[in-house]
């Protein structure tokens, strides 16, 4: 890790050692916000940000994200979680408490095209991607130097449909070795098996090079060109067993016209892919996303 990056990360962890995030999903009913706020107040915590959303005040699902400062948090985590349990049971909550100074361990999967990987590495180097990039895995050697020159472990694992199970067994060993929390598919051009996806439910983020649901699958730029579209886009989503149909996190578009051939469309699209994936990853790292069915609530 570069000294600059290391200093940025250490400063971030120091600044946020008393900060936590609480994500809640439960049936909507009166008193949720008041009860949670009172709980934090009574424990001496100061709410920094609070966002909530309901699908329907009459029996719909309620979603909430609270970020708070709590002096001495590191030593009080266990008591905080234990004391919150009765409230969670009362309101039938699914909840998570995340501690901001505890950076997530990330694995990046890549193939031949490096643009999304390089965007993430640059964001991380500049101190704008607060995570520990624990390892990069690729089924090609193309990106090895880009990764290892930054002091990040690189593993080459050949993968295709004929050896998919064998490749994923090796990948799982590496993910366990590096204690990986979530995975980024930075244009990793391989389909994952249901068993692999199940092991990391809502913890695998993909970038698809089209504005889904248009042009699902391979060669979207060629199909977009043949269709004569006037805009192209990119979609970042969580991976499920249904190809390119997981919960969408972020999308963006760029305009094209009759002068743009497939190569020009691809160049425009790659710039969109980079920014869309980076935003989605940052939101995941900042615990801004709650998955509900096949949709996401992004605070």
- Tell me the pLDDT band of 170, cut-offs 50, 70 and 90: very high
Strands 19-27 and 94-99, by their bridges, are antiparallel
What is the predicted pLDDT for the residue at 217? 84
Please identify every residue annotated as catalytic: 244
pLDDT exceeds 70 at position 74: yes
Beta strands in the chain (DSSP E): 19-27, 46-54, 61-69, 94-99, 105-110, 132-138, 154-156, 182-186, 204-208, 231-238, 248-255, 289-292, 295-298
Q: In the Cβ-directed half-sphere of 205, how many Cα atoms lie within 13 Å?
A: 30
Closest CA relative to residue 182, chosen from 154, 155, 157, 201: 201
Rounded Cα distance, 97 and 85, in Å: 12
Cβ atoms of residues 110 and 145 within 8 Å: no
Q: What is the pLDDT of residues 254-284, one digit of tens each?
A: 999 999 999 999 999 999 999 999 999 999 9
Record the tokens describing residue 107, joined without a space: 């694995």
Q: Max alpha carbon distance in the chain (Å)? A: 63
The DSSP string of 197-227 is HHHTTT-EEEEESS-TTTT-SS-HHHHHHHH
Q: What's the burial of 149, exposed, middle or buried (CB within 10 Å: 0-12/13-18/19+)?
A: exposed
**% the chain with pLDDT above 70:** 99
Q: Is 124 helix (H, G, I), strand (E, B) or coil?
A: helix
Q: Alpha-carbon distance 100 to 108, whole Å?
A: 21
List the structure tokens of 38. Answer: 């009172």
Per-residue model confidence (pLDDT) at position 111: 95
- Alpha-carbon span 30 to 54, nearest angstrom: 12
Q: Which residue has the higher pLDDT, 33 or 189?
A: 33
Segment 21-33 mean pLDDT = 97
pLDDT at 117: 98
Q: In this predicted model, what pLDDT tens digit does every residue of 127-163 receive, in sequence order?
A: 999 999 999 999 999 999 999 999 999 999 999 888 9
What are the pLDDT digits (tens) for 208-261?
A: 999 898 888 888 999 999 999 999 999 999 999 988 899 999 999 999 999 999
Count Cβ neighbours within 10 Å for each residue of 213-228 and write b for 16 or more, e otherwise.
Answer: eebeeeebbebbbeee
Question: What three-state secondary structure class fits 246?
Answer: coil
What's the pLDDT score for residue 1? 64
Q: What integer best gives the mean pLDDT of the chain?
A: 95
What does the pLDDT average to over 6-14?
Answer: 95
């Amino acid at each position: 890790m570069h000294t600059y990056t290391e200093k940025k990360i250490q400063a971030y962890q120091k600044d946020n050692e008393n900060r936590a995030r609480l994500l809640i999903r439960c049936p909507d009913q009166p008193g949720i916000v008041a009860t949670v706020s009172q709980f934090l107040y009574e424990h001496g915590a100061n709410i920094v940000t609070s966002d909530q959303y309901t699908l329907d005040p009459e029996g719909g699902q309620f979603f909430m994200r609270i970020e708070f400062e709590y002096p001495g948090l590191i030593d009080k985590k266990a008591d905080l979680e234990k004391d919150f349990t009765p409230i969670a049971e009362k309101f039938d909550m699914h909840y998570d408490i995340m501690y901001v100074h505890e950076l997530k361990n990330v694995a990046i999967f890549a193939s031949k095209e490096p643009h999304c990987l390089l965007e993430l590495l640059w964001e991380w180097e500049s101190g704008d991607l607060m995570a520990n990039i624990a390892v990069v895995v690729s089924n090609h050697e193309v990106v090895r130097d880009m990764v290892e020159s930054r002091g990040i472990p690189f593993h080459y694992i050949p993968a295709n449909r004929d050896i998919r199970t064998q490749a994923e067994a090796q990948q799982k060993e590496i993910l366990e070795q590096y204690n990986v929390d979530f995975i980024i598919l930075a244009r990793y051009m391989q389909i994952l098996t249901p068993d692999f996806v199940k092991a990391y439910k809502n913890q695998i983020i993909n970038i698809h090079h089209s504005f889904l649901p248009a042009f699902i699958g391979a060669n979207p730029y060629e199909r977009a060109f043949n269709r004569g579209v006037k805009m192209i886009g990119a979609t970042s989503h969580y991976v499920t067993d249904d190809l390119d149909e997981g919960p969408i996190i972020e999308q963006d578009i760029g305009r094209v016209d009759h002068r743009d051939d497939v190569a020009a469309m691809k160049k425009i699209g790659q710039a969109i892919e980079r920014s869309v994936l980076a935003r989605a990853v940052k939101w995941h790292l900042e615990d801004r996303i709650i998955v509900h069915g096949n949709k996401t609530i992004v605070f």
